[in-house]
Homo-oligomer: A and B are copies of this chain.
Amino acid sequence: MIEEQKKGTLLVLSGPSGVGKNTLIDMFLNRNKDIRYSISATTRKPRNHEKDNIDYYFLSQEQFCNMIEEEAFLEWAEFCGNYYGTPIKPIEEALADGYDVIMDIEIQGAKQVSEKWPEAVLIFLVPPSLEELARRIKNRKTETSEEIEARLKQALIEMDVGRMYDYYLVHDNTEKTVLELEAIRQAESFKVKRINWDLVISSLKEGLNA
């Protein structure tokens, strides 16, 4: 009875670049087939193997700007000449159908989401240590040591924004961190503010009179 009235929860995952958001989300989605992943829209060209409506919604700049005007984005930003944004509609529909939705988003975007959708659950992913973050970035072998140092300084700046989030998780071990993320998801589903308490009471009353 209570389950039927429930809307889904929007889980928003952020964290400094290199912290391993994608790895975590992949395992989380794999273990939880009933959760929806929010697909971003972008005006940049698809890269090899990227598929429209799966990796991104690939839009023309005109389409994107029309959607901005229609306030069809939960958040959007321009980055290096391309637009990126989160369309509201698929998220609203999934939540109304009772599905939980997870999105990963950079820090500025998370702030916009939380303003537009205060019931979103903001989760900040913390590296176990900066040494470990450096090691992960080094393993990619795409950056010089100066670039790595700059990335670490940037990560510290990004860490500061974590204080405005609801939850933090230390990403030291993906298996463990996924279980912790699942506990947050489960606990949030028991929040009184997420259900209509009057309906809970009236469904109990119906039982009494029946």
Contacts and interface: CB of A to CB of B under 8 A. Distances in A.
A131 interface: yes
Interface string A141-164: 000000000001000100110111
Nearest to A134: B208
A204 B159 contact: yes
Nearest to A186: B183
Counted per complex, copies of this chain come to 2
Q: Is the interface of A mostly helix, strand, loop or mixed?
A: helix
B163 A197 contact: yes
Nearest to A2: B170
A48 to B, nearest CB: 35
A160 B127 contact: no
Contacts of A191: 166-167
Interface range on chain A: under 10, 10 to 19, 20 to 34, or 35 or more? 35 or more
Contact of A190 (B159, B184, B192): B184
A195 to B, nearest CB: 8
A10 to B, nearest CB: 16
Contacts of A57: none
30 contacts: A124-B192, A126-B204, A127-B204, A129-B204, A130-B205, A130-B207, A130-B208, A156-B201, A156-B204, A156-B205, A159-B200, A159-B201, A159-B204, A160-B201, A162-B192, A162-B197, A164-B192, A166-B192, A167-B192, A168-B190, A168-B195, A180-B186, A183-B183, A183-B187, A183-B190, A184-B187, A184-B190, A186-B187, A187-B187, A187-B188
Interface of A: 2, 124, 126-127, 129-131, 152, 156, 159-160, 162-170, 180, 182-184, 186-188, 190-192, 195, 197, 200-201, 204-205, 207-208
